[in-house]
């Protein structure tokens, strides 16, 4: 076993990707299941705060853009559940772990989206923070996770742009609209900073994750990167970051911020966020309502495997293959 784990670490040190069929230490597998499923749950639960605004978007154009964004998040969840399943856990087990509170999702989605400006603030701040977190994950040592992140990162840039565009429109609008934008920034700024998690010194999982190259940068480092990007963006909007201690530190070339309220973070993480119960209850309900769809899909797939409509299925498959070739030619 020692030889296997030495060889495993040597492969990681050589920047080789680990694939599902490869030998891996149980701790590596468990860490990835925890992290990837937490990430998948966040994508899917994250559809709720913005999803509630699809029917209330201020124009047809905004509605189409938001609809596409929320659908993307659902797709991200699917890529990530797929990546987690390659580690030998089923989707049902993963969802169950979230419903019973064993698995977490990002604390940020336990805050309410109260106004249209919140949709802008979420896209601008929360998706920006997601990008800062996720770009290094494209180089994660586990192949399926890294590949899922490559697709996701492309879409996240669009999400960030749509959010910033909403903020820009409000910031250039009436006094009431500017006020709405400022209020959204006031409420989303600190929870966004908490998304990066506590300092690595206080994080129990960090050092092993660095050695396994699941993680490449520390939480504080990533948080700083986000702050340095977001502060000038707020200036362009003419909005004030709600932190009286915020200041530019010429010596380090970074912005310094005031103290983060980690008690609030702990409260939200332990299920006492403003919308924690609502988010989980909604997910449970949707999961129950969709049970018949999953059952129908499973029965359909089993029928195909059994070949009960063999010739028809074969004909359909060859049609699909034709279409695929036609697409490739275009
Ligand atoms: Fe996403
Ligand atoms: Fe996103």
Q: Radius of gyration over alpha carbons of the chain, in Å?
A: 22
- Has residue 318 got a pLDDT over 90? no
> For residue 309, what pLDDT band results from cuts at 50, 70 and 90?
low
> If you measure from the C-alpha of residue 23 to the centroid of ligand 1, how many angstroms do you get, rounded to a whole number?
30
Cα–Cα distance measured from residue 31 to residue 35, given in angstroms and rounded to the nearest whole number: 6
Of 31, 210, 38, nearest to 136 by C-alpha is 210
Q: CA 185, 127, 50 angle in degrees (round to 5)?
A: 75
pLDDT tens digits, 252-291: 999 999 999 999 999 999 889 999 999 999 999 999 999 9
Longest Cα separation, the chain: 73
Which helix (H) or strand (E) segment holds residue 88: the answer is none
> If you measure from the C-alpha of residue 193 to the centroid of ligand 2, how many angstroms do you get, rounded to a whole number?
16
Least confident of 24-33, 84-93, 121-130, 305-314: 305-314
> If you measure from the C-alpha of residue 114 to the centroid of ligand 1, how many angstroms do you get, rounded to a whole number?
21
> If you measure from the C-alpha of residue 244 to the centroid of ligand 2, how many angstroms do you get, rounded to a whole number?
29
pLDDT tens digits, 75-130: 999 999 999 999 999 999 999 999 999 999 999 999 999 999 999 999 999 999 99
How confident is the model over 172-176, as a mean pLDDT?
A: 98
Cα–Cα distance measured from residue 271 to residue 104, given in angstroms and rounded to the nearest whole number: 9
> For residue 201, what pLDDT band results from cuts at 50, 70 and 90?
confident
Per-residue exposure over 260-291, b if at least 16 CB sit within 10 Å of its own CB, e if not: beeeebebbbeeebebbeebbebbeeeeeeee
CB 13 within 8 A of CB 212: no
Cα–Cα distance measured from residue 278 to residue 313, given in angstroms and rounded to the nearest whole number: 43
Whether the model pTM is above 0.85 = yes
Q: HEC states along 128-157?
A: HHHHHHHCHHHHCCEHHHHHHHHHHHHHHH
For residue 102, report the phi and psi dihedrals to the nearest 5 degrees. -70, -40
- Has residue 315 got a pLDDT over 60? no
- Has residue 311 got a pLDDT over 70? no
pLDDT tens digits, 53-73: 999 999 999 999 999 999 999
> For residue 166, what pLDDT band results from cuts at 50, 70 and 90?
very high
Q: Is 254 helix (H, G, I), strand (E, B) or coil?
A: strand
Q: Which ligand gives the minimal distance to the CA of 76?
A: 1
For position 2, what pLDDT does the model report? Answer: 76
Higher pLDDT, 219 or 206: 219
CB atoms within 10 A of CB 306: 9
State the alpha helices, DSSP H only, in the chain: 2-13, 26-45, 47-51, 60-85, 91-99, 116-121, 127-134, 143-171, 175-194, 206-211, 219-237, 262-267, 276-289, 291-306, 310-329
For position 326, what pLDDT does the model report? Answer: 37
> If you measure from the C-alpha of residue 73 to the centroid of ligand 1, how many angstroms do you get, rounded to a whole number?
4
């Amino acid at each position: 076993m020692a030889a296997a784990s030495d060889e495993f670490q040597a492969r990681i040190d050589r920047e080789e990707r680990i694939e599902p069929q490869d030998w891996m230490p149980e701790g590596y597998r468990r860490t990835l299941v925890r992290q990837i499923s937490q990430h998948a749950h966040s994508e899917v639960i994250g559809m709720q705060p913005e999803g509630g605004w699809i029917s209330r978007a201020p124009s047809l154009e905004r509605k189409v853009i938001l609809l596409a964004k929320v659908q993307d998040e659902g797709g991200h969840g699917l890529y990530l559940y797929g990546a987690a399943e390659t580690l030998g856990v089923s989707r049902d087990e993963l969802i169950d772990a979230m419903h019973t509170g064993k698995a977490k999702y990002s604390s940020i989605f336990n805050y309410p989206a109260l106004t249209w400006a919140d949709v802008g603030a979420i896209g601008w701040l929360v998706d920006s923070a997601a990008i800062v977190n996720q770009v290094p994950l494209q180089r994660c040592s586990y192949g399926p996770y890294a590949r899922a992140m490559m697709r996701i990162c492309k879409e996240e840039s669009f999400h960030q742009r749509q959010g910033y565009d909403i903020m820009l429109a409000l910031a250039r609008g009436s006094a009431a609209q500017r006020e709405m934008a400022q209020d959204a920034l006031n409420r989303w700024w600190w929870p966004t900073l908490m998304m990066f998690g506590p300092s690595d010194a206080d994080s129990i999982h960090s050092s092993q994750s660095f050695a396994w190259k699941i993680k490449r940068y520390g939480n504080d480092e990533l948080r700083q990167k986000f702050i340095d990007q977001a502060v000038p963006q707020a200036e362009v909007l003419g909005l004030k970051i709600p932190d009286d201690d915020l200041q530019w530190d010429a010596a380090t070339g970074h912005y310094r911020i005031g103290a983060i309220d980690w008690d609030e973070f702990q409260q939200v993480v332990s299920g006492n966020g403003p919308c924690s119960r609502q988010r989980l209850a909604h997910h449970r309900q949707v999961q129950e309502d969709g049970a018949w769809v999953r059952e129908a899909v499973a029965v359909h797939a089993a029928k195909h495997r059994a070949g009960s409509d063999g010739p028809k299925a074969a004909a359909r498959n060859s049609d699909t293959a034709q279409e695929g070739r036609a697409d490739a030619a275009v």
